[in-house]
Amino acid sequence: MEEKNISENTFNTIVVGGGIAGLTSAAFLSRSGQKVLLIEKNREFGGLVNSFTRDGFHFEAGVRALEDAGIIFPMLKDLGIHLDVIKSPVSLGIGDDIIAIETINDLVKYRELLRRNFPESESEIDEFLRIIRKIMKHMEVLYGIENPVFKDLKRDRTFIFKKLLPWLPKFIFTVGKINRMNMPVEDYLKTIIKNPALRDMISQHFFKNTPAFFALSYFSLYMDYFYPKGGVGKLSEALKNKISECGGEIKAETKIIEVLADKCLVRDANNSIYKYDNLIWAADLKTLYKIVKTEGLAPKIKEKFEETKTTMLKNRGSDSIFSLFLEVDVPLESFKKIAHGHFFYTPSKSGLGETHRKELYEMLGNFEKVEKERIITWLDKFTKLNTYEISIPGLKDPELVPPGKTGMIISLLAEYNLFIEIQKAGWLNEFTTEMENRIINVISGSIYPMLKNNIIARFSFTPLSIENRIGSSEGAIVGWSFQKTMPVVNKIQISDRSVLTPIPSIYQAGQWAYSPAGVPMSILTGKLAADKVIKNKIRTPNK
Ligand SMILES: Cc1cc2nc3c(=O)[nH]c(=O)nc-3n(C[C@H](O)[C@H](O)[C@H](O)COP(=O)(O)OP(=O)(O)OC[C@H]3O[C@@H](n4cnc5c(N)ncnc54)[C@H](O)[C@@H]3O)c2cc1C
């Protein structure tokens, strides 16, 4: 972009990253009357909240269903967006023992499932269920009212006096309790359960070192899952339409590669330049810290920026995921009889043990010397003993598949570094095929025998595909890894600070801005960043 065109390319706020966080920020800012530009590197919007179609089958590229968490519906209501949604109940299974979780009473079914599979650990299971019930109570408080961030607190007196004020003391009390459960879920479970296989059944589909409260709260969130009619991506589509409706500008296929902070400019990969008063960065934060030029900024700001940059770059993204997509020539009814369309399934009750951690890290520590056969033997164990998240979009919305057929996504947590090493060694495609074959063998050999011989087409996304598509460091799917101290805010009571960066005109939002994150927190930080920008419209420069 030449200098003379810069005035056309000048905005009150530029939002970089058209994932769910950036879409939220841009929607609220354009509704407030600001001149807003949302920039997204891909053709499609939504980032990890995105659906796509292949051969008439609809699939999710990222998250498989959504949890309201007291955030998504209030956000939609605040923006006046109507979204058709369907409840998305979850099934849980071990071997051929499957239960459906539909109401809070189904917790009893979960206890029975664990007791049937681990009869020797009855009292530990009871203690574990007691804790889950306690957590559910905390969750009821946390999400007990519509999130105040989406309410007009200046005008809505009824909300303030009837809901917010009575809720606040309970909230503060509950936050104290939650903060005491911040230790890694694996360590927390060791304090109540001796049997390692039972601990694995409960925790092996969580990210390594997930804070105990966040992990165990999923048992309440299972009842909270919903699915937009037409696919998860409909949520992103609705927000994108809202931005356009409110006069916001949207630019797809535009990757930002440089931020000139002192001049409040961003540059894209085609060398076009855009000017902002405020910038919201709603994408990978390591990328932001690498591409910001700080020349010309006040020394104090520069110093703080360099300090934060060092911390950010030292940390890594969360675990990533391997997803296998299947187009199957079997009607939905056959799958419906077995489990819901959102299914957490563990074929073996032996547990992963150290397969996904110690054994893998040993191989990675010495990768050039590790023989292919050893990796394949490891892969055998990894796929047999793991827990899978299985999603069948057609069981949530039957219009998402061609008649008589079923689309299925089978995924499991995967280590980014393994895929990097295998790529370097030159056999990524072969490894991916080996992994796909094993997953199909395990799932058709256990819960869905009809898969065998009925797969019309298949393809998969590795951690490297995620990194390439959404520019997420280490292919992370929920922001920062929990294995080190997270370099961002991680306490709900100070979540509004999570969107600040050392540079006054630059804000951050999304899964990298607050930890632990997911769709609801990405939306919340998107809104918090928009609020800060609106409040600080007239800012002093960065000098
Ligand atoms: C398989 C799977 C299951 C999940 N399950 C759950 C779940 O059950 N519950 C839950 O809450 N969360 C879940 N998540 C996580 C959740 O989807 C994400 O945390 C959330 O969607 C992140 O949103 P975001 O907007 O912060 O980031 P992203 O979705 O990563 O969006 C960032 C956007 O920025 C764009 N971008 C990047 N760099 C640039 C650049 N330089 N210039 C321009 N654009 C750029 C990217 O293309 C992308 O569109 C899951 C994710 C996956 C993949």
- 475 in ligand 1 pocket by Cβ < 6 Å? no
Check pLDDT > 60 for residue 464.
Answer: yes
Going by pLDDT thresholds of 50, 70 and 90, the confidence category of residue 152 is confident
Side chain identity, residue 483: Q
Instruction: Using the CB atoms, write b or e for 92-115: b if 16+ within 10 Å.
Output: bbbeeebbbbeeeebbeebbebbe
Check pLDDT > 80 for residue 400.
Answer: yes
Cα of 284 to ligand 1 centre, how many Å?
Answer: 9
Tell me the average pLDDT across 109-113.
95
Q: Using one digit for the tens of pLDDT, what is the confidence trace for 190-236?
A: 999 999 999 999 988 888 888 888 888 888 888 889 999 999 999 99
> By CB neighbour count within 10 A (0-12 exposed, 13-18 middle, 19+ buried), where does 294 fall?
buried
Please give the pLDDT value at position 144: 79
Cα of 511 to ligand 1 centre, how many Å?
Answer: 7
- 255 in ligand 1 pocket by Cβ < 6 Å? yes
Determine which residue's CA is closest to atom 46 belonging to ligand 1.
470
Q: Using one digit for the tens of pLDDT, what is the confidence trace for 57-105?
A: 999 999 999 999 889 999 999 999 999 999 999 999 999 999 999 988 8
Return the ligand 1 atom nearest residue 21 CA.
25
- 181 in ligand 1 pocket by Cβ < 6 Å? no
Structure tokens at 213: 């409260």
Kindly report the backbone phi and psi dihedral angles of residue 440, in degrees, each rounded to the nearest multiple of 5, phi listed first.
Answer: -60, -40
Determine which residue's CA is closest to atom 47 belonging to ligand 1.
470
What percentage of the chain reaches a pLDDT higher than 90? 76
Cα of 283 to ligand 1 centre, how many Å?
Answer: 8
Question: Which residue has better confidence, 412 or 224?
Answer: 412
Check pLDDT > 90 for residue 386.
Answer: yes
Please give the pLDDT value at position 306: 97
Return the ligand 1 atom nearest residue 49 CA.
21
Q: Which letter does DSSP use for residue 153 in this model?
A: T
Cα of 48 to ligand 1 centre, how many Å?
Answer: 4
Return the ligand 1 atom nearest residue 521 CA.
11
Determine which residue's CA is closest to atom 34 belonging to ligand 1.
17
Tell me the average pLDDT across 514-535.
95
